[in-house]
């Protein structure tokens, strides 16, 4: 059984990991890496990769 604080920490770690995936995807997009490869490598959805690519 987890405490509320432990759940918050876990949630924070998950958010941080997701942000890191997005930052990695942005760098790969800038380098011209294929979007399908980025999706497979980061675990982000193809839709999310396309959304990021439009921004960069």
Would you say residue 22 lies in a domain? yes
Query: Would you say residue 3 has pLDDT above 70?
Result: yes
Question: The domain containing residue 36 runs over which residues?
Answer: 17-41
Instruction: Say what the pLDDT of residue 24 is.
Output: 98
Instruction: Say what the pLDDT of residue 2 is.
Output: 79
Would you say residue 50 lies in a domain? no
As a whole number of angstroms, the distance between CA 56 and CA 29 comes to: 7
As a whole number of angstroms, the distance between CA 47 and CA 2 comes to: 34
Query: Would you say residue 28 has pLDDT above 70?
Result: yes
Would you say residue 30 lies in a domain? yes
Share of the chain above pLDDT 90, in %: 93
Would you say residue 1 lies in a domain? no
- The per-residue pLDDT for range 30-50, each reduced to its tens digit, is 999 999 999 999 999 999 999
The structural domain count of the chain equals 1
Instruction: Say what the pLDDT of residue 1 is.
Output: 65
| Mean predicted confidence (pLDDT) in 22-26 | 97
């Amino acid at each position: 059984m987890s405490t509320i604080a432990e759940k918050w920490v876990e949630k924070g770690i998950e958010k941080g990991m997701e942000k890191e995936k997005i930052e990695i995807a942005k760098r790969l997009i800038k380098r011209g890496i294929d979007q399908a490869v980025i999706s497979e490598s980061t675990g982000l959805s193809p839709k999310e990769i396309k959304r990021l690519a439009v921004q960069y």
